[in-house]
């Protein structure tokens, strides 16, 4: 069990200047970590909100510091922005008397597969999973990050679990398209889980419209209501729609696991 009262944890999120829900999961997970007293100190830092990556090191009292990116995959932010803004020079950095330990992003951990299957089972209200098609929604492959690669890896691993009738990757802007879900799924139940860190316009509005469970009113979607109206009955199927995987409370355990994983590698 990880118990580090002499260490600090910095959880790094992307944040947003327009979407108040972007930083919510990062702040929620930090609150839970404080409540559990796993670390002596817990702080959040964001790229587009405050505390910023340029401010957060000033907040520390402890000298032994773990930095965990609350990101779905490796990519531009974890490889370029975070190291640059925090002056990191690799997994281990000594800076002004502190040791900064840069861990892997949360979404990279092996346990993500377990979290995705857990969320899919929970949202689907007890329907037989073997009679269900599971769709993992990812960002497209055209982005300069590895999130699409990570989403594909998770789908492979979910297939190996053999819990669901079938498992597919879907995307918003490239095939296989979210909007064509009914064409390539063959089971009576369809479960849709966005492989994103936070809920935002994509999960409240874009994906529901593409699935056909919300009208494109041009207005901000009814926010969390969209997740409360499960199941949806359309195109002769029963459809269950989950909120972004990063809002899953057990993400906290994976954050702690990433710290343990860092320590398990000799450096």
Partner 1 sequence: MRSLPETIAGWVHDGFSLLGQIRITSRPGGSFELRHREDVAVHGLEEFHGPSAARDLSFFDEARNYRPLKTAPNLRRGWSLIVETPEDLRLALDHFYPAMTALWRSQLEASLSSVPLRDTLDRQTGMYAASKRLQDEEGLQLVASACNSKTGCMKRMLWPFTKTVELTGFSRLERSADVLTLDSGEKEIPLLCHEACNILVAACRETVKKRERAAAATV
Least distance to partner 1 from the beta carbon of 144, Å? 8
Least distance to partner 1 from the beta carbon of 4, Å? 16
Sequence-distant (≥ 6) Cβ neighbours of residue 155 within 8 angstroms: 136, 167, 168, 169
How far is 30 from 3, CA to CA, in rounded Å?
15
Q: Considering beta carbons, is residue 16 or 99 the nearer one to partner 1?
A: 16
Q: Considering beta carbons, is residue 18 or 265 the nearer one to partner 1?
A: 18
Least distance to partner 1 from the beta carbon of 122, Å? 24
Q: Which of 86, 70, 72 is nearest to 30 (CA)?
A: 70
Tokens of 153: 């890896």
How far is 148 from 153, CA to CA, in rounded Å?
9
Q: Considering beta carbons, is residue 32 or 114 the nearer one to partner 1?
A: 32
Question: Which parts of this chain interact with partner 1 (CB under 8 A)?
Answer: 16-20, 27, 31, 34, 43, 47-52, 54-56, 58-59, 61, 76, 80-81, 84, 96, 144
How far is 45 from 184, CA to CA, in rounded Å?
41
Sequence-distant (≥ 6) Cβ neighbours of residue 237 within 8 angstroms: 182, 185, 187, 188, 189, 190
Least distance to partner 1 from the beta carbon of 112, Å? 26
Q: Considering beta carbons, is residue 54 or 130 the nearer one to partner 1?
A: 54
């Amino acid at each position: 069990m990880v118990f580090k009262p002499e260490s600090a944890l910095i959880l790094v999120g992307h944040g947003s200047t327009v979407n108040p829900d972007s930083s919510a999961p990062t702040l929620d997970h930090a609150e839970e970590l404080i409540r559990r007293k796993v670390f002596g100190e817990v702080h959040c830092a964001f790229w587009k909100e405050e505390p910023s990556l340029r401010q957060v090191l000033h907040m520390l009292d402890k000298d032994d510091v773990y930095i965990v990116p609350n990101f779905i995959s490796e990519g531009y932010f974890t490889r370029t922005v975070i190291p640059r803004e925090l002056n990191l020079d690799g997994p281990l950095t000594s800076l002004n008397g502190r040791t900064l330990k840069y861990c892997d992003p949360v979404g990279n951990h092996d346990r993500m597969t377990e979290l995705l299957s857990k969320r899919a089972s929970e949202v689907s209200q007890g329907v037989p999973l073997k009679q269900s098609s599971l769709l993992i929604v990812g960002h497209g492959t055209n982005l300069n990050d590895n999130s699409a690669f990570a989403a594909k890896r998770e789908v492979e691993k979910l297939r190996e679990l053999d819990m669901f009738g079938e498992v597919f990757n879907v995307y918003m802007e490239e095939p296989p398209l979210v909007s064509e879900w009914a064409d390539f799924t063959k089971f009576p139940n369809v479960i849709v889980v966005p492989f994103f860190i936070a809920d935002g316009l994509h999960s409240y509005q874009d994906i529901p419209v593409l699935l056909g469970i919300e009208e494109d009113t041009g207005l901000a979607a009814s926010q969390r209501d969209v997740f409360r109206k499960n199941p949806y009955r359309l195109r002769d199927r029963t459809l269950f729609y989950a909120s972004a995987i990063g809002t899953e409370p057990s993400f906290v355990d994976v954050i702690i696991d990433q710290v343990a994983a860092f320590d398990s590698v000799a450096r």
